[in-house]
Structure 1
Amino acid sequence: MTRSPAVEAPANEAGASSPYRKFDTYTMVSLYVVPVMALPLSGILLTEASAYSWWTWAHLAALAVAAVSCAWVLRSAVRNRFQGTPWPRAAVTVFVASCLLAAGSGAFAAPPGGDSGLDIPSSLLLLSLVVLGFGFAPAMRWGHVAWCASAIAAATVLTWLLQHPGTLATGRWFPALFTSWLVTYGILMSGALASWTLKLMHEQAELTVVRSELAVAEERLRFSRDLHDIFGRTLTAVAVKADLAAELATAGQVERATSEMREVHDLADEGLREVRDVVAGYRAVDLGAELKGARAMLSAAGIRVRLIGDGEGIGSRAAEALAWTVREGATNVVHHSDARNCTITLTTDDGAAQVRITNDGVTRSTPRPGGGGLDGLRGRLRKLGGTVETSLERDTFTLTVRVPEESA
């Protein structure tokens, strides 16, 4: 689990409707907003000081370039934290140079103020250096954040002391240093925490995909294990008997060969019955149990499930058909959509039992569920006089199955 959600989401979570992808987008946008906010803050400070020199425009221009390039650096910082990918040299160079230029020009963009606290030039310097540190914050460890905040606060207070050398002995620099460090540390830590949260959400997204795939694989394994355990013995016996019959026929013992072939025929009939029993056992499931199983599998895949109706009063054969529909439909929801919500509705009307499975998270580019699953379901229900209907409206896919109650 080393991929960044900002770079690549898990396959089943990569749709636009995925909550993980939305969380990633919202988090990255919130990170992009922080350096952009430095521009209006600088403008307010410069307007308050009535400073309109060329230093002012140089500071604002450099800060604007820094805010734009910070977006690329922030994305690279997230990738570097989780993937160890190299930094883009051009973007980092432009970002660092523009931040340093904004810091240097900000120190001269307004006349020094009093010595009771940080004045406007020192505040502009601090603002520029905070943008510089914030661009790399998502790639920082917790200790690195504290050291970076300390360096920025020290550089800011040192610049202020150079403009007000008499304040060194008075100790007024200490509150300025502590305040600068506290503000800087809080802002940089927010970037580091956002990066850490993205990592947790990405790991959760991958875990959800793995759980859903394991749930489907477990069902397939159970069916294949039943076939192997029950039908493997019969096929082995058929092979042995057929070889023996061939040898007897070659040796001229026609009667014994004929007897062995009759046994092969009987074994084949027995094997066919066993296969039908296995398949019937796989299909002849309890509707209530299948509803519980579907809820468990969909919930494990991170999908909210709503069940309407419990199937009480539905005939046994119709309930069996609906139970298989619930199983197939729930599997398709996990495999063929980026669903967040799934509703399973059971109703009886006009002498028929009906189940409707509705899920969102389906797009035109999403592979349509079909093939052996739904085609096999149509074949089975056709014998009962049932129908299978599918529809797609926007991102919502609906599977509707109706089975006559007479089939009970």
Structure 2
Amino acid sequence: MRATAWWHELSGAAKFRLYTRLSFQAVIVVLVVVLAVSAASVVPVLGIVVVGIAASAALEAQPDFATVPGVVARPRMLPVAIVVLVALWAISGVVARWASDESTVLSARAVGLSAVFMAIFAVIPFTRHKWWILIGISAATPLLVFGTPLGAGLRGAVVCLFTGIFAILLTRITVWGLGIIDELERTKGVEAQLQVAEERLRFSRDLHDVVGRGFSAVAVKSELAVALSRAGDTDRAVAEMEEVRTLAVESMGQMRTLVRGYRNIDLRGEVAGARSLLSAAGCELVVEGDAAKVPAAFHEVAAWVVREGTTNIVEHSAATTATLTLGGSGMSLRNDRPQGAIGERSGLRGLGERLAAVGATLDIATAGDEFALEIHWEKK
């Protein structure tokens, strides 16, 4: 189902943000129900419902609770919600001060206090000068809604103040927790990239250590052979060139051994390594089929596909799910949430060349929010 797929595409941090936002929205719904039940007539109930809708919209527009950190789908909802809450608070205060009917006064006070509590919960904790605003609202509400700083007004001010302190502390602790989750998510991505970089550095270091000395000797002896030839000592020049040929052959053999050791990788081991690496990057790898189904002649190149494809997912996507399919006629590696143009992925061009050398083909496909490597071969 589309809803299920959308949920699985979210990262762990995004899921936690969504859960937190829905929890706060649930609290607003509970507050609206409790305040509406305690209201005496239909008019304050409608006002309380409008207040709840405004508070819910304010929470949806808060960047701290966005599914993607700092990205809000409808940022204009926040100023509109604030205007609605302030307007209802002010209108309720005016009605409560000037109305002569007791039921009207009580209804206006219910709406005004609801606007204050919703603002304390959904708006004030996210503002810059939250503590001063809370003190001001707590002091102004008794005068505006109750018309007196004493008695019920004083009790209302104390309730507003302590409710605001609790809401601000709860909200800031929640936002702090979201920040820690985001930092852990970024750390996982960095760890995966470091593992890829470490593997590349290992191979380049081994290549330099194994082959570099041989090539240096070839260069020195070649220069010596040229100098001897110019000096007329052809016998020694020929001997030096013989040694150059021997060194070149030995160096090429060492390089082939090194590359073969790097490329002669086990398919099952690469699948296990890919699962570990992608897990560190926050991506779940699902394996369909079995490595035993892959023809023996293509085991090595299939393992290389897994390695290069995994590197491609880590470097060029924000994937949360990947699917590796292994079969007798080919294999595929798919991932969601690709990033960047296909042409930028030079590693895939090299992979295509490796596959062509063994009679296999590589197809690259993008469909919506999915990137896929399709490899086909004929059984030998």
How far residue 338 of structure 1 moved from its aligned partner, in angstroms, is 2.4
Tell me which moved more, 231-240 or 184-193: 184-193
Counterpart check, 1:126 vs 2:113: yes
**Candidates 275, 294, 319, aligned match of 1:295:** 275
How far residue 210 of structure 1 moved from its aligned partner, in angstroms, is 0.7
How far residue 149 of structure 1 moved from its aligned partner, in angstroms, is 5.7
Secondary structure at the counterpart of residue 291 of structure 2: coil
Q: Residue in 1 aligned with 2:373?
A: 399
Assess if the C-alpha contact under 8 Å between 1:112 and 1:120 holds in 2: no
Secondary structure at the counterpart of residue 94 of structure 2: coil
Taking a change above 3 Å as real, the CA distance of residues 164 and 260 of structure 1, as seen in their structure-2 partners, is closer
Q: Residue in 1 aligned with 2:123?
A: 135
Counterpart check, 1:355 vs 2:331: yes
Taking a change above 3 Å as real, the CA distance of residues 307 and 231 of structure 1, as seen in their structure-2 partners, is same
Amino acid at match of 2:126: P
| TM-score, normalised with respect to structure 2 | 0.72
**Candidates 157, 179, 191, aligned match of 1:199:** 179
Taking a change above 3 Å as real, the CA distance of residues 93 and 297 of structure 1, as seen in their structure-2 partners, is closer
Q: Which has the higher contact order (CA 8 A, sep 6+)?
A: 1
Q: Deviation string for 1:72-131 (max 9, x for gaps)? A: 9944x889xx99xxxxxxx999998886665443222234898xxx94444444344445
How far residue 263 of structure 1 moved from its aligned partner, in angstroms, is 1.5
Secondary structure at the counterpart of residue 319 of structure 1: helix
Q: CA–CA distance in 1 between the matches of 2:352 and 2:42?
A: 78
| TM-score, normalised with respect to structure 1 | 0.68
Amino acid at match of 2:363: E
Q: Residue in 2 aligned with 1:235?
A: 215
Q: Count residues with an aligned counterpart.
A: 360
**Candidates 339, 355, 374, aligned match of 2:348:** 374
Q: CA–CA distance in 2 between the matches of 1:198 and 1:131?
A: 22
**Candidates 89, 93, 117, aligned match of 1:107:** 93
**Candidates 204, 208, 221, aligned match of 1:224:** 204
Q: Residue in 2 aligned with 1:322?
A: 302
Secondary structure at the counterpart of residue 366 of structure 1: coil
Amino acid at match of 1:376: G
Q: Deviation string for 1:55-84 (max 9, x for gaps)? A: xx9xx99x89x9799689944x889xx99x
Q: CA–CA distance in 2 between the matches of 1:28 and 1:153?
A: 26
How far residue 259 of structure 1 moved from its aligned partner, in angstroms, is 1.7
Assess if the C-alpha contact under 8 Å between 1:286 and 1:320 holds in 2: yes
Assess if the C-alpha contact under 8 Å between 1:302 and 1:340 holds in 2: yes
Normalized per residue, the structure richer in helix is 2
Q: Deviation string for 1:354-374 (max 9, x for gaps)? A: 322122223xx7322775423
Amino acid at match of 2:252: L
Q: Percent identity?
A: 30
How far residue 343 of structure 1 moved from its aligned partner, in angstroms, is 1.3
Amino acid at match of 2:349: D
**Candidates 24, 41, 47, aligned match of 1:48:** 41
Assess if the C-alpha contact under 8 Å between 1:138 and 1:194 holds in 2: no
Q: CA–CA distance in 1 between the matches of 2:310 and 2:243?
A: 43
Amino acid at match of 1:105: I
Q: Which runs of 5+ in 2 are unaligned?
A: 1-8, 71-76
Q: Deviation string for 1:319-351 (max 9, x for gaps)? A: 112111111111112222222111112222xxx
How far residue 224 of structure 1 moved from its aligned partner, in angstroms, is 0.8
